[in-house]
Amino acid sequence: MNAVADGADAPRLDKTAQSVALAVLRHGPIARAELARRLGLSSPSLTRLTKELIRTRLVRERPAEQRAATGRPSLPLEINGDAAHFVGIKIVTGAAYAVVTDLAGDVITRRRVGTRARAPGTFLNRVAELIKELRADDPRIRGVGVGIGGPVSDGNSVRHAYFLGWGEVEVGSILAAAVGLPVTVHNDVKALTLSQHWFGSGRDCQSLAVLTLGVGFGCAMVINDALITGDRGISGEIGHWQLRADGPECSEGHRGCASVMLTSGGLARLASEAVGAPLEFEECVRLARDGDPAVRVVLETSAYQLGQLCARVADLIAPERLILCGDGIDFAIITDDVVRRGLADHRSSLADPDDLIMERLDFFDWARGGAALAIRHYLLG
């Protein structure tokens, strides 16, 4: 991942120290013995490394609640959240959502700015102003991370931000030049997945799949504790996998792909055709919840296919957990049992029952994904 501005006071840790800091971040408070076991380090090596991390104030000993009567107590280690703060941004059409987090990923501040700007330069100017305002209030801010819909492979440029109508834009360089902080950019679903893996409901997993429902259909994966980027940042592009051979055509000419069967707009179109009147996505969810038979059939058909799609992803990477989220998640929540049936019906017979969870996340949760990128850059370079 590239830095696009000088991160002069970022800690310079060697690979082993980085792995210790990351393990404390993800699993802390954690006992030294457990940390040594996880990382396969000897006790003297760990002692040397943790001493250094405590000296640089990245890690601290958690105060003992009750000291042992005899002997020197071994205090668990945790990340020192106050050591540095970070701005995370999620860019959507017409607005930017920002959070400030501490080094432990805990959210301190939330801020949203709306803008009518469409052109990338004007839009990013507004985002830069927001970052400067946050920094004026919080001098501990050491870096910025941005999640944006579209492929990003170098921590800097989005190649094609389809929903914003942008071509290739060097989002990281533009913002870094404007605010004077290191800025790291990534695809928004991948950024969200990183924060779910480090701080959220995937924290205890080494392998994870996150599927997002909404205006688009997104997918990102963690395998063996590594967020998968893929060649040119385009892994997880499953939004055009076919789910139904006789389904309607998408903008790219496929029949019945995920982009028409599972997105908010696609579901609204299918339901509108079924009832013979124009419906918005939110109305479809409400009608289906209230038991409207025609809309219910449409949503349940798509829900079963969503389960089938989850099964394909799960068969491919065998994640410990599947997380469904995104602003269109209510569709899956109200058809939960059908999604699970579609998953179970299509999953490999070798698999154990899947750990599938559905989460309502807002755009500030997505912005926290940006902060996770900034923290990753700060700690791991």
Binding site for Zn ion (CB under 5 A): 240, 250, 252, 254, 257, 259
**Neighbouring C-beta atoms of residue 112, cutoff 10 Å:** 14
Side chain identity, residue 286: R
Helix (H) or strand (E) holding 324: strand 321-325
Side chain identity, residue 341: R
Q: Which is nearer to Zn ion, 152 or 250 (CB)?
A: 250
Q: CB of residue 213 vs Zn ion: minimum separation in angstroms?
A: 16
Q: CB of residue 109 vs Zn ion: minimum separation in angstroms?
A: 39
Q: CB of residue 255 vs Zn ion: minimum separation in angstroms?
A: 8
Find out whether 253 and 241 touch, Cβ atoms under 8 Å: no
Q: CB of residue 173 vs Zn ion: minimum separation in angstroms?
A: 32
d(CA 127, CA 44): 47
Q: Which is nearer to Zn ion, 19 or 308 (CB)?
A: 308
Q: Which two tokens stand for residue 224?
A: 């063996």
**How many angstroms separate the first and last alpha carbons of the chain?**
7
Q: CB of residue 164 vs Zn ion: minimum separation in angstroms?
A: 20
Q: Which is nearer to Zn ion, 26 or 255 (CB)?
A: 255
Find out whether 51 and 61 touch, Cβ atoms under 8 Å: no
Helix (H) or strand (E) holding 147: strand 141-148
Q: Which is nearer to Zn ion, 195 or 235 (CB)?
A: 235
Q: CB of residue 186 vs Zn ion: minimum separation in angstroms?
A: 24
Helix (H) or strand (E) holding 78: strand 77-79
Secondary structure tally for the chain: helices H, strands E: 13, 12
Q: Which is nearer to Zn ion, 1 or 258 (CB)?
A: 258
Q: Which is nearer to Zn ion, 252 or 352 (CB)?
A: 252
Task: Report helix, strand or coil for 144.
Answer: strand
